[in-house]
Structure 1
Amino acid sequence: MEPARTSPTSSAKGWAVQAIAELIGTAMFLYLAVGAADAVDALSGGADYIGTSLAFGISLLVVSWAFFRISGSHFNPAVSFSSLITGHISIPQFVLYFIAQILGGMVGVALARGTSPSSQVVGQVNMIMNGESIARGFWLEFFLTTILCFVYHMTVHEKNRSTFMAALPYGLTLFACHLFATRYTNAAINPARAFATSISARRFAREHWIYWFG
């Protein structure tokens, strides 16, 4: 079914609403995910990879389900960029989404770190760990981000009877990606998340660039 024709004014208004939804949704997602990940790591006395993966996967699942019909629940500049490349959003929409996601990420992480004791903060920033090289870390982020975007497009843009449940595979894919990468790159798979945690910690790892280009 062809979408209804809209005026430039109504389109701009719709984009603004979607961008606000991306800002709030990204903030909610990272507030829940980062806060929960810090809590489970502190409770376990170290890196709890399963707990961290569940924190991010479940947080994305529930928040993306809530915002899906408003903005498509990207919450990730990589997903928005892939949607731009595939023609599902326009350049102005991408710019609005990108700004909203970066701002939302900073708000969400700041709130998560600001509403919990500093002693509970374990994973400060995204960085290479446990013997992983920068090159391998780059390709790890690259392939996992590709898989996340692929699952998103196949469940959201390839319309079928299960599209309304797209948030479920979207969240489960992020869970699986974190199970793999948390030990090696602290699993950003999202430039907004990597940037926000670094801003909050006032510290950027020298390999921070891999979370953007990867």
Structure 2
Amino acid sequence: METSKFSKFTAEFLGTLVLVLMGCGSAVIAGADGTTGVGLLGISFAFGLSVVAMAYAIGHISGCHINPAISIGMVVAGRMKAGEAAYYIVAQILGAIAGAGLLYLIVSNHPGFEMKPWALGSNGWGTGYLDEYNTTAAFIAEAVFTFIFLLVIFGSTSTKNINGGFAGLAIGLSLVLIHIVGIKITGVSVNPARSIGPAVLAGGEALKQVWMFMLAPVVGAILSAVVWKTVLEKN
């Protein structure tokens, strides 16, 4: 029996909500300071484990994209129709905004809360953001990391992969790896929805810079899909 569009939309909405709430929440609530909080490694695992959890929760319903770059990559690779990808992307963006909204409702009720630039775990780059990497470094990192991320997704979900049952784990752990390397560069997006959600609420520099995290991951995803389709899995 085919899964309804509404079920898929809801799954993508909820999955992206969880990713933003738990991933960004780990940075905002649990803290990036390894002495008093979970540190960068803990934040990396929070994002990766969110994907693992959702992969096994909703993967059989929607495929658990929870990321517009993945949906676009699937279209380019010939695994998905553009019309279906469109409502996936709408669900993902709305879910990310809802996740950021829930995070705001929680943290804004803390006595020490202050809405600083790049609040709510927003992505960014340049002066004032983490290690202050420039635009070039940020774009290259986001495009290359998304390229790698999509390769893992294409390979682990391929019908030729006899270990397909472990796809969710492989994908989640690859996201952990990407965060370990990339957090200090951009906070790591590789997911336009994950960036749009917090930026909409944070405003300011986060919203001004969100274009980067819409463009670079999509470029990386398209390149990855082309390489996968024309080179790696070509018959």
- State whether residues 9 and 88 of structure 2, in contact with CA within 8 Å, keep that contact through their aligned partners in structure 1: yes
Contact 2:133–2:185 (CA under 8 A) maintained in structure 1: yes
Quote the Cα distance in structure 1 between the aligned partners of 2:45 and 2:173: 9
How many corresponding residue pairs?
204
Residue 146 of structure 1 aligns to a residue whose secondary structure is helix
Q: Percent identity?
A: 26
Matches within 5 A, 1:48-87: 48-87=39-78
- State whether structure 2 residue 221 is matched by structure 1 residue 211: no
Give distance in 1, aligned partners of 2:46 and 2:5. Answer: 30
Query: Partner amino acid for 1:81?
Result: I
In the alignment, the residues of structure 2 paired with residue 204 and residue 74 of structure 1 have an alpha-carbon distance, to the nearest angstrom, of 27
Matched, 1:34 2:24: yes
1:19 lines up with 2:13 in the alignment: no
Q: Helix, strand or coil for the counterpart of 1:113?
A: helix
Alignment-derived partner of residue 162 in structure 1:
163
Give the unaligned 5+ runs of structure 1.
5-9
Unaligned residue ranges in structure 2 (runs of 5+)? 217-235
Describe how 1:164-179 pairs up with structure 2 within 5 A. 164-179=165-180
Q: 2:88 aligns with which of 88, 97, 105?
A: 97
Q: What is the DSSP-based 3-state SS (H/G/I as helix, E as strand, rest coil) of the residue aligned with 1:62?
A: helix
* Superposed CA offset, 1:165-199 (max 9, x none): 21101110110111111101011111001110111
TM-score, normalized by length of structure 2?
Answer: 0.79
CA offsets 1:127-186 (integer angstroms, 9 cap, x no match): 113131101110100000111111011111344332122110111011011111110101
Give the residue type in structure 1 aligned to 2:123.
N
Cα deviation, residue 47, structure 1: 9.0
Distance 1:194 1:174 in 2: 15
CA distance in 1, matches of 2:141, 2:40: 16
Normalised by the size of structure 1, how large is the TM-score?
Answer: 0.86
Q: Which amino acid is 2:210 matched to?
A: H
Query: Kindly tell me: are residues 120 and 165 of structure 1, through their superposed partners in 2, closer, same or farther at Cα, counting changes over 3 Å?
Result: farther
Deviates more, 1:119-128 or 1:151-160: 119-128
Q: How far apart, in 1, do the equivalents of 2:7 and 2:215 lie?
A: 28
Q: How far 1:42 sits from its partner (Å)?
A: 6.2
* Alignment partners' CA distance in 2, 1:138 and 1:164: 33
CA distance in 2, matches of 1:15, 1:59: 23
Is contact 1:37-1:56 (8 Å) kept? Answer: no
Shift in Å, 1:46: 8.0
Q: Is 1:196 aligned with 2:193?
A: no
Structure 2 counterpart of 1:208, one-letter code = V
